[in-house]
Chains A and B, each alone.
Chain A
Amino acid sequence: MDIRKNSGVVKWTLIVLCSSFLVVFLILPLIYIVVTALRSGFQAYWNSITDEYAIKAALLTIEAMVCAVVINTIFGICAAWTLTKYQFRGKKTISTLIDLPVTVSPIIAGLIFVLTFGRQSFLFPFLDRFGIQIIFAVPGIILATVFVTFPFISREIIPALAAQGTDEEEAAAQMGANMFTIFRKVTYPHIKWALLYGVVLCSARAMGEFGAVSVLSGHLRGKTNTLPLYIELLYQGYDFNGAFAASSVLVLLSVVILALRMWLEKRGAKEIDVRK
């Protein structure tokens, strides 16, 4: 049976099933968010999203996101390079450890950091002496965000680098190119699209992170509240208008990222097609 030519009941049942699933679980809630946010009129909506604390929360979210992307990009490239270009003992272990943050519940991740850097930790006196505050402060939020988005970029680059092999780098090195030139001219073009795609995934995940950040933040309004935490705070305080208005901002950011992702996929596929 040629499965692609089957235009019968099965095909349409599946299409309807998928579509209704998406409508019920995705489209409806999204519409509901927008509708609820605007229920008390546009002025109230505008007031909610331009609230001092809302803006601070949004800025902190973006700050944590940018930090996570930058740190994970650097780490991701280093890790991917190490895992694909060198042979060494313990390579498998490193590769597995990179994936750990995805399997560990974010709440646990948060607790781990509280235990590592909090008052009961042996590290605390050192940190305290140098005036470094991690728990219930911005560094803690960034740390938590970096942790949960850890594998996103490296996992995207590793297959791209592995597929490329080391021939071209070797050829460049043989002609006398230094490491930086080799990376810029030979390696980077290979991983460009994978890297950008990883950045997009990492951003999306960083923006929405709740669990780990929640444990580490301390919920100081205007100081350590990220957008998701702020939304929860409003929601718990029965301020539905405010909660949904802030949510709509987060949704908007997600839509932007989704659009970016689609554009990247298209561009990337096109270019890879040409240069393979």
Chain B
Amino acid sequence: MSMENKRYYLELRGVNKKYGNFQASRNVNIQIEKGRLVALLGASGSGKTTILRIIAGLESPESGEILIDGKLVNNTPGSERGVGFVFQSYALFRYMTVYDNIAFGLRVKKKPRNYIDDRVHELLKLIDCEGLEKRYPNQLSGGQRQRVAFARALAPNPQLLLLDEPFAAIDAKIRLELRAWLREMITNLQITSIFVTHDQDEAIEVADEIIVMNHGEIEQTGSPRELYSHPQTPFVAQFIGASTPVENYQRFRFFQSLGDDTTAILRPEFVSVFKKGENKKYTESAEEGVVEDVIFRGSNLEIRVRIHGVVLSGNRGINDPVVEIGEKVDVFVYRFLVVDGKKIVRLDNSSLREESIII
């Protein structure tokens, strides 16, 4: 499909929202294709939930347009936008059974009784909660509650599903299972979905596409891989992935300075730590550092090395020869993400280029 006739299922154009003096959304533009699973990622107070609520019709923007399936819906009530909403704390109706919770939206829309009954049972089967229809929300586990909230939102057959921090209220272990479950469910149903999260791992693992928000503005939109390897703003570079700030990257060999007031961000995977003599490929261009700490991370070891007055983190495999604290090691930095004002420039180790030319 070419760019010209690409039709977005959801579009936000120049949306602004203020609460008193607080600018919750600033000129927000979003385009989402049908069937995508999108994460709105940001710290708390970054305006991500506001955007979700604006799309759902729970808030109205001061200015800007909201288009769903090509139609302007600014003046359409939330219930007629074909949107399902899963609230952060699920907001299940405490005084209704699971059945009544799921049936609520259908009853409000005055669907026939038979239809409601079939639909509720279909959804109970989908969320694997058959037999729980007579229970009350407080008699369910956290995971079951989330799935009931999911089913309740899906009952009226929305074309767009919005989830506000869907995993926040669940303990860590079940959270991982639910992530996979939700992703699978949404992929199978092919329903366009947007979920809000503050957890970058969650966004990276679950979403096809991530919208990073900060101070009510969109910093960057892209696939998890794009955001990870090509961050466009300092905020994204620091927010996505592990990072160490390096003020004096200019002192590292084979990196030219991009200006005096520039600093850099370094990811652990840009750093290799070698025992003396172990390093064959980069012998010429590695620099000497001292091991400050070795931290066991399960699948790998994080080595903290002091070099040029900064402590960098690098990874080593579990089966690599052991390095000790205080040991002198060879450190090779592949790349810095240099912060130049509001831009990010990828700065590669220049010896890599030279070596590749030689080879």
Q: Please report A residues at the B interface, Cβ cutoff 8 Å.
A: 167-168, 170-177, 181, 185-186, 189-190, 274-276
Contact = CB atoms under 8 A, between A and B. Distances in A.
B87 A170 contact: yes
Nearest to B110: A176
A174 B89 CA distance: 15
B93 A186 contact: yes
B93 A185 contact: yes
Interface stretch (B73-81, B207-215, B304-312): B73-81
Interface in B49-91: 56-58, 77-80, 83, 85, 87, 89, 91
B229 interface: no
A274 B136 CA distance: 8
- Looking at chain B's contact residues, is the secondary structure mostly helix, strand, loop, or mixed? loop
Contacts of A189: 94-95
Contacts, number: 61
6 residue pairs, one from A and one from B, having the closest CB atoms: A176-B79, A189-B95, A167-B91, A175-B105, A171-B91, A177-B108
A171 B85 contact: yes
A167 B85 CA distance: 12
B85 A174 contact: yes
B190 interface: no
B283 interface: no
B105 A176 contact: yes
Interface size grouping (class) on chain B:
20 to 34
Given A174-B79, A175-B156, A276-B138, A168 B93 contact: yes
A170 B109 CA distance: 16
Interface of B: 56-58, 77-80, 83, 85, 87, 89, 91-96, 104-105, 108-109, 136, 138, 152, 156
Nearest to A178: B108
B58 A172 contact: no
B344 to A, nearest CB: 38
A181 B107 CA distance: 11
A274 B135 CA distance: 10
A171 to B, nearest CB: 4
B113 to A, nearest CB: 17
A115 to B, nearest CB: 42
A168 B94 contact: yes
A241 B106 CA distance: 65
A232 B306 CA distance: 93
A186 B93 CA distance: 7
B141 to A, nearest CB: 15
Contacts of B87: 167, 170-171
